[in-house]
Structure 1
Amino acid sequence: MTRFLVSGLINIETTLRIERFPLDYNPVNFPFYGIQSSVSGVGYNLAKALICLGNEVEFLSMIGRDDAGRRVQNALQRDRIPSTSVLERLEETPQSVILYDSHGRRQIHTDLKDIQEQVYPPRLAAQALAACDAAILCNINFSRPLLVQARRLGKPIATDVHAIGDLEDDYNRDFMQFADILFMSHERLPLPPEEWLRAIQARYPAQIVGIGLGEKGCLLGERDAGEVCHVPAVNTRPVRNTIGAGDALFAAFLHAYFGGDTAQTALRKAVVFASYKIGAVSAADGFLDAAGLEEWYRRVYPA
């Protein structure tokens, strides 16, 4: 069992199912059972997935002193996510609205409120980092100072910079510079994914780089191996919403890799985990437990 520190966002997520993109103007619509609201956010999704897979998690985040914050606290308790280090320091809890269609396309609108101006208390962060095996530091501003703290403590650092499109991205450069394990999406890449992966390896020190390719699976580059591995997507159950697929992929990879699997085996398990997850609507739902993941992995990759 691995003990992970997760530092990342919590938000109230509202999903809206639409017929297609682009969305035509229409003054009134009635998508019965097409609107859902839940507690989500990258940090929350990662923490919940890792706990579902049987890991221990110390979760650092911030929420509002509002009704939405109380809803988050109830969800943390329900999902067995430790809430001691989730601090009520915001005036309002962040929110997101996500439009998605039946083809797997989605558009995300996130209102971070004032969280980008907040600093997580360094002493509390240091205590949590000291007790963990690995630090998952999401690319939110309050995680930024933890990069230096985790490096000083010798903790492996993993981060996902999501839809990146510039090697010198001002916002994400620190996260990419410190990451030992670095994941991202293909959606905004200015180069073919394999060329981009090589460029990332030439510019940044990460030992492992993963690029999610959506319906085409995932690429993995291991610096020591000197090769790029492509794991195609798999089909475990019908797709309902692809939101949160990247978080699921990242969480399951870290679970398997720090659990002793090779990077390539961990990626195959992560692809299976993400495939099953997108059979759910919310980004924070649809996670297999460890036994379920191993069962599906054996089905997809029989010995």
Structure 2
Amino acid sequence: MAHVLVVTLNPALDLSIQLPRLEPGAVNRTRSSHLAAAGKGLNVAQVLVSLGHRVTLSGFLGADNDTAFVQACRRDGIEDASLRLPGETRINAKLAEDDGRVTDINGPGIEVSEAALAELTADLVARCKATSPAAVVVTGSLPPGATPEALAALIRALKASGVPVWIDTSGPALTAALAVLPDAAKPNEQELADWAGGPLTDPAAQLDAVRRLHASGVEEAILSLGGDGVLWVSRRGEWRATPPRVEVRNTVGAGDTLLAALLHGVIADQSPQEALRQATALAAEAVRHIGVGNPHAGDFQELLQQTSVSRCGEARVGGNA
């Protein structure tokens, strides 16, 4: 299908641990553990590839322990264009309990210099001009040395190349990113509440905040509500999706799955109902296991049928739905 450039500034090796229940201060016995290349960027790239797209993954990697990432990209058919820096990529521990609760213990990441950021920015802009990808996805946290202002400058440079920019980050990085108006953003409820300046106490408040985000200039305003579904406001209208009920095993990767699948729907020019239904169902498929959603799961058609999508109304800006 299309070519997508995915950028992850602070990737990680994920140590995923499944256990019945975490007992702090005690000896805990695990059911399983798995160490693998991970991070939001790799998650997004894997979903996009599974949906038929050609993906280039860029960002920063520690040169001393990049083998898992090299192998993951080769296995999944992802072009590896990450800039190698001296040192090691961080290791994050993710403790998943039987009740669905996940505890993340994340490392800070490898130190990034201004020179490295400038080199990466120049390379990304050159790739955009040379290959005209359908979109650039900038996702994940910021490593030490990369400021929110630096992220905003990167997004501004990518936008200037004429390629749509989708972002998924949090905290001050999200605030800085939203200030330069990316084409799409996917905050969760707390992140959007922080941006909106107050709690989103009911569905009406949630919809109003997403409308405001869209009205500010973010074309694809997406609110992820976990098990309560998704709100999406764009020029296509205002839509709410409710996912099917599934057994939640691990929520890590569900948000990345949602973002990637919705981007797929936009690139493929699907109807908003079809795009949001597929993205929501695929995110629900993801929470049933460790990893991202699998569009080839045997019961995926059933999950699609069990996913409800309804129209909330007309978007206030951005043209006709």
The TM-score, its normalising length taken from structure 1, stands at 0.83
Change (3 A) 1:297 1:104: closer
Matches within 5 A, 1:131-280: 131=131, 132-141=133-142, 144-162=152-170, 170-177=172-179, 178-187=181-190, 189=193, 190-192=199-201, 194-199=204-209, 201-202=211-212, 204-222=216-234, 225=237, 227=238, 229-235=239-245, 238-280=247-289
Change (3 A) 1:171 1:121: closer
Match of residue 30 from structure 1: 29
Change (3 A) 1:186 1:110: same
Give, in whole Å, the separation in 2 of the partners of 1:53 and 1:81.
Answer: 13
Match of residue 165 from structure 1: none
Match of residue 65 from structure 1: 63
Match of residue 19 from structure 2: 18
Q: Given that residues 15 and 97 in structure 1 are in contact (C-alpha distance below 8 angstroms), is that contact kept between their aligned partners in structure 2? A: yes
Deviations, residues 203-241 of structure 1 (Å, cap 9, x unaligned): 63112211111111111222563x4x2211114x64321
Letter in 1 for 2:295: L
Give, in whole Å, the separation in 2 of the partners of 1:31 and 1:110.
Answer: 19
1:47 to 27, 32, 45: 45
The structure whose RCO (Cα within 8 Å, separation 6+) is larger is: 1
Letter in 2 for 1:72: F
SS at match of 2:186: strand
Instruction: Structure 2: state its 5+ residue gaps.
Output: 194-198, 309-321
Match of residue 109 from structure 2: 113
1:102 to 75, 88, 98: 98
TM-aligned CA deviation for residue 296 of structure 1: 4.9
Q: Given that residues 201 and 223 in structure 1 are in contact (C-alpha distance below 8 angstroms), is that contact kept between their aligned partners in structure 2? A: no
Q: Given that residues 50 and 57 in structure 1 are in contact (C-alpha distance below 8 angstroms), is that contact kept between their aligned partners in structure 2? A: yes
Match of residue 196 from structure 2: none
Give, in whole Å, the separation in 1 of the partners of 2:2 and 2:83.
Answer: 24
TM-aligned CA deviation for residue 259 of structure 1: 0.6
Deviations, residues 247-271 of structure 1 (Å, cap 9, x unaligned): 0111111011211113332111101
Change (3 A) 1:115 1:251: farther
Give, in whole Å, the separation in 2 of the partners of 1:176 and 1:197.
Answer: 18
Match of residue 54 from structure 2: 56
Runs of 4+ displaced beyond 6 Å: 291-294
Letter in 2 for 1:270: A
Paired residues in the alignment total 285
TM-aligned CA deviation for residue 77 of structure 1: 1.0
The TM-score, its normalising length taken from structure 2, stands at 0.79
Q: Given that residues 15 and 36 in structure 2 are in contact (C-alpha distance below 8 angstroms), is that contact kept between their aligned partners in structure 1? A: yes
SS at match of 1:205: coil
Give, in whole Å, the separation in 2 of the partners of 1:301 and 1:106.
Answer: 24
Letter in 2 for 1:182: A
SS at match of 2:98: coil
Change (3 A) 1:88 1:6: same
CA RMSD between the two structures: 2.7
Among all aligned residue pairs of Structure 1 and Structure 2, give the percentage whose two residues are the same amino acid.
23
Instruction: Structure 1: state its 5+ residue gaps.
Output: 163-168
SS at match of 1:179: coil
TM-aligned CA deviation for residue 58 of structure 1: 1.8
Q: Given that residues 61 and 86 in structure 1 are in contact (C-alpha distance below 8 angstroms), is that contact kept between their aligned partners in structure 2? A: yes
Q: Given that residues 15 and 37 in structure 1 are in contact (C-alpha distance below 8 angstroms), is that contact kept between their aligned partners in structure 2? A: yes
Q: Given that residues 182 and 218 in structure 2 are in contact (C-alpha distance below 8 angstroms), is that contact kept between their aligned partners in structure 1? A: yes
Letter in 1 for 2:168: D
TM-aligned CA deviation for residue 140 of structure 1: 4.2
Q: Given that residues 90 and 115 in structure 1 are in contact (C-alpha distance below 8 angstroms), is that contact kept between their aligned partners in structure 2? A: no
Letter in 1 for 2:223: I
Change (3 A) 1:78 1:100: same
Change (3 A) 1:125 1:260: same
